Amino acid sequence: MATCPRCLGPLSEGHRCKPIWVKRLIRQSIAVLTGGLLGGVVQFLLDPEKVPAIGVVIGGLLAFALSEGMKD
């Protein structure tokens, strides 16, 4: 079966590609949420008395930068 050169999905009859920005938005959102969660957990484990807001922000920004750097 042939594949679509734009979205790399199966090229069947009546195939319509999803807009690329939707796929990119979903990928970026998952990366930022995962990075923020990991950053918050690490900060909470290192210093449990403080609110892990800085860890969430730094983790989210780092994950965003990594996903932008590895963009296809």
Instruction: Give the tens place of pLDDT for each residue, 16-29.
Output: 887 878 888 888 99
∠ Cα 63 49 36 (to 5°):
10
CB contact at 8 A, 12 and 24: no
CB contact at 8 A, 56 and 32: no
> Residue ranges of the domains in the chain?
20-69
CB contact at 8 A, 14 and 6: no
**Amino acid code (one letter) for 14:** G
Residue 37 predicted with pLDDT over 90: yes
**Amino acid code (one letter) for 34:** T
Instruction: Quick: pLDDT tens for 39-69.
Output: 999 988 998 888 888 889 999 999 999 888 8
Prediction pTM value: 0.68
